[in-house]
Amino acid sequence: MKVVTAAEMRRIDQDTIEGIGIPGIVLMETAGSAIVRVIEQHYPTCQRIGILAGKGNNGGDGIVIARQLAHIGRDVHLFLVSPEESFTGEAHTNLQIAKNLGLRIEEILTDTGFYSTGTVPTTLASCELLIDAIFGTGLRGAVRSPIVSVINAINSLSTPVLSVDLSSGLDADTGHPLGTCVQADRTVTIGLPKRGLLIHPGAELAGKLEVVDIGFPEQVVDAQAIKVNWTTATQASKWVPLRPPASHKGSYGRVLVVAGSTGMTGAASLASKAALRAGAGLVTLATPKHLNPILEGLLPEVMTLPLPETEAGSLTVSATSTILEFAEKTKSVLAIGPGLSQHPETVKLVHQLVRENREQGLGLRMVIDADGLNALAQMREIISLLDREAVLTPHPGEMARLTNTSVSTLEKDRISTAQQFASEHSLTLVFKGAPTVSADANGEVWINSTGNPGMSTGGMGDVLTGVIAGLMAQGIASERAAALSVYLHGLAGDMVAERLGMHGLIASDVLKAVPQAIASLT
CATH code assigned at 373: 3.40.1190.20
Question: Is 183 found in the same domain as 104?
Answer: yes
Q: Which residues, including other chains, have CB under 8 Å from residue 238's CB and lie 6 or more apart? A: none
Judgement on whether residues 187 and 260 belong to the same structural domain of the protein = no
Residue-level pLDDT at 117 = 57
Question: At 25, which amino acid appears?
Answer: I
Percent of the chain scored above 70 by pLDDT? 98
Please check whether residue 246 lies inside any domain of the structure: no
Instruction: Say whether both 332 and 425 belong to one domain.
Output: yes
Give residue-wise pLDDT tens across range 222-281: 999 999 999 999 999 999 999 999 999 999 999 999 999 999 999 999 999 999 999 999
In angstroms, the CA 251 to CA 345 distance is: 36
Indicate if 421 and 516 belong to the same structural domain: yes
Q: Is the pLDDT of residue 45 over 90?
A: yes
Q: Which residue pairs, CB below 8 angstroms and at least 24 apart, start in 452-455? A: 452/490, 452/493, 452/494, 452/497, 452/502, 453/502, 454/493, 454/496, 454/497, 454/501, 454/502, 454/503, 454/504, 454/505, 455/490, 455/493, 455/505, 455/510
* CATH code of the domain containing 149: 3.40.50.10260
Asked if 261 and 202 sit in the same domain, the reply is no
Determine if the peptide bond prior to 146 is cis (ω within 30°). yes
In this structure, the answer to whether residues 372 and 286 fall within a common structural domain is: yes
Q: What is the pLDDT of residues 388-409, one digit of tens each?
A: 999 999 999 999 999 999 999 9
In a domain, 231, yes or no: no
| Residue 139 placed within a domain | yes
Which residues lie closer than 8 Å to 119 by C-beta, 6 or more apart?
none
Percent of the chain with pLDDT over 90: 95
- 370 pLDDT more than 80: yes
Judge if 405 and 287 occupy the same domain: yes
Q: Considering the domain boundaries, does residue 405 fall inside one?
A: yes
Q: Which domain holds residue 177?
A: 6-225
Let me know the angle formed at the C-alpha of 479 by 357 and 227, rounded to the nearest 5 degrees.
130
Task: Indicate whether 422 belongs to any domain.
Answer: yes
- Could you give the residue ranges of the DSSP H alpha helices within 412-476? 414-425, 460-473
Same-domain status, 72 and 192: yes
Same domain, 176 and 259: no
Q: Flag whether pLDDT at 116 surpasses 70.
A: no
Domain count, the chain: 2
pLDDT higher than 60, residue 111: no
Is 230 part of a structural domain of the chain? no
Residues 208 and 265 in one domain: no
Same domain, 267 and 330: yes
**Beta strand ranges found along 36-153 (DSSP E):** 48-53, 75-80, 104-107, 129-133
> Is residue 100 included in any domain, yes or no?
yes
Q: Determine what percent of the chain falls in helix, strand and coil, rounding each to the nearest 5.
A: 50, 15, 35
The one-letter amino acid at 161: V
Question: Within 10 Å of residue 401's Cβ, how many Cβ atoms?
Answer: 17
Sign of CA dihedral 50, 213, 143, 95: negative
Residues 209, 283 within the same domain: no
pLDDT band at 5 (very low <50, low <70, confident <90, very high): very high
pLDDT for 112: 54
Cβ neighbors of 241 (< 8 A, separation 6 or more) are: 252, 279, 471, 474, 475, 476
422 class by beta-carbon count within 10 Å (0-12 exposed, 13-18 middle, 19+ buried)? buried
Q: Is the pLDDT confidence value at 115 over 70?
A: no
The rounded mean pLDDT for the chain is 96
In a domain, 311, yes or no: yes
